[in-house]
């Protein structure tokens, strides 16, 4: 057994009902005196409660999906004008992504308070979109110094969005099993993350206001993100980055629709990974377990329902093929990638 595994330095707190106190302690530990709070208008009330005890110098709410470059530039300019010395994000992946964009060029310390299961808070991956092209990279400056998970902040997340966001987290687990830097430690984290998500998400659907399902899903989402941060982007994420940036598709729903089709393509060529997923789902195969879970969750299936058009398929194929990771278990060709995207578009049975 030979591998090189990098564990990212980050403080993580899961404290249901204690977000405000935990965030205040983390900001004090940084010695910050002029904090920039980033939260969308939809999360404004929640953010105000979480950051009530902080020395807030700037509240910024221009949060846009896929972080357009021009939005990032405006946020950076606002941070400079307000002379902030730390950033606190309260929200989902787009909010965390904007905080990362500011940290990337300023070097300001970042603290994240997630309200979805996006996982961006646990990675050193940044993403910016310009002229329909989403560019991603890694940089230690964008890794949040601390993450505060509070499951009570997620009880108001609508069930449909909870499901899509949770399946986005599950995609981190699946991709981590064959991504460019996949290793046994990533696989162990991914398998436990998948197990937790497979148990937490149905509980969220059954009782959206209950904490047990939310906490289990948060736990799974964090593990999945840690695995993904180490393993890197596999085929699934390369596809979703192209689709999201090029066609402005909703992030979580895109991942939820694409995931089973990538698993169906790769699982026959990765029996050990498939066996791990099958065990996590307590199912005969990884795909059978995923499809059973998606059925119980009433998960998104057809990307045509979220803005992807049939005539977009050839252009998407041409954009994806050059970025297919060499580590992908299955050969990827124009023909099978076209078939995959057509199946995703129409919501066909991935098997």
Residue 6 has pLDDT above 90, yes or no: no
Mean pLDDT for the stretch of residues 32-50: 96
Fold of 11-154: Rossmann fold (3.40.50)
Mean pLDDT for the stretch of residues 49-70: 96
Please state whether the predicted TM-score (pTM) of the whole model is above 0.95: no
pLDDT value at position 3?
Answer: 84
Reported confidence tier of residue 68, pLDDT bands at 50, 70, 90: very high
pLDDT value at position 133?
Answer: 85
Which of 242, 219, 231 has its CA nearest to residue 315?
242
Mean pLDDT for the stretch of residues 103-113: 98
Cα–Cα distance for residue pair 323/152, rounded to 1 Å:
39
- Could you please report the per-residue DSSP string of 229-280? HHH---HHHHHHHHHHHHH---HHHHHHHHHHHHHHHHGGG-HHHHHHHHHH
Mean pLDDT for the stretch of residues 32-45: 96
CA torsion sign for 287, 292, 295, 300 is: negative
Q: Same topology for domains 11-154 and 159-346, yes or no?
A: no
Residue 169 has pLDDT above 90, yes or no: yes
How do the domains of the chain map onto residue ranges? 11-154, 159-346
pLDDT value at position 319?
Answer: 96
pLDDT value at position 39?
Answer: 98
The hierarchical CATH code for the domain 159-346 is 1.20.1090.10
pLDDT value at position 5?
Answer: 86
The bridge status of strand 133-138 relative to strand 125-130 is: antiparallel
Mean pLDDT for the stretch of residues 87-101: 97
Q: 247 CB contacts (<8 Å, ≥6 apart)?
A: 132, 307, 308, 309, 312, 316
**10-21, pLDDT tens digit by residue?**
999 998 999 999
**184-227, pLDDT tens digit by residue?**
999 999 999 999 999 999 999 999 999 999 999 999 999 999 99
**230-279, pLDDT tens digit by residue?**
999 999 999 999 999 899 999 899 999 999 999 999 999 999 999 999 99
């Amino acid at each position: 057994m030979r591998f090189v595994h990098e564990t990212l330095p980050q403080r993580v707190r899961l404290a249901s009902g204690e977000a405000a106190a935990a965030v205040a302690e983390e900001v004090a530990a940084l010695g910050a005196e002029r904090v920039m709070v980033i939260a969308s208008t939809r999360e404004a009330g929640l953010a105000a409660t979480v950051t009530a005890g902080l020395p807030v110098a700037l509240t910024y709410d221009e949060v846009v999906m896929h972080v357009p470059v021009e939005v990032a530039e405006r946020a950076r300019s606002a941070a400079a004008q307000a002379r902030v010395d730390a950033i606190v994000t309260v929200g989902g992946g787009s909010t965390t992504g904007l905080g990362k964009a500011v940290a990337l060029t300023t070097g300001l310390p970042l603290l994240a308070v997630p309200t979805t299961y996006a996982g961006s808070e646990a990675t050193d991956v940044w993403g910016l979109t310009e002229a329909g092209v989403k560019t991603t990279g890694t940089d230690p400056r964008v890794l949040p110094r601390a993450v505060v998970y509070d499951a009570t902040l997620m009880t108001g997340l609508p069930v449909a969005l909870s499901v899509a966001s949770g399946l986005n987290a599950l995609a981190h687990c699946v991709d981590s099993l064959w991504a460019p830097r996949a290793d046994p430690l990533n696989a162990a984290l991914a398998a436990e993350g998948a197990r937790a998500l497979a148990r937490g998400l149905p509980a969220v659907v059954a009782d959206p206001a209950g904490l047990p399902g939310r906490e289990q899903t948060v736990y799974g989402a964090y593990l999945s993100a840690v695995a993904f941060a180490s393993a890197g982007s596999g085929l699934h994420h390369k596809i979703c980055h192209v689709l999201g940036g090029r066609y402005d598709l909703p992030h979580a729903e895109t991942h939820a629709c694409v995931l089973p089709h990538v698993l169906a393509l790769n699982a026959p060529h990765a029996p050990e990974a498939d066996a791990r997923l099958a065990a996590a789902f307590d199912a005969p195969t990884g795909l059978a377990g995923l499809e059973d879970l998606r059925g119980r969750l009433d998960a998104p299936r057809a990307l045509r329902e979220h803005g992807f058009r049939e005539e977009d398929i050839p252009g998407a194929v041409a954009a994806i093929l050059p970025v297919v990771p060499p580590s992908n278990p299955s050969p990827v060709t124009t023909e099978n990638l076209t078939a995959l995207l057509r199946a995703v578009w129409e919501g066909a049975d991935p098997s």
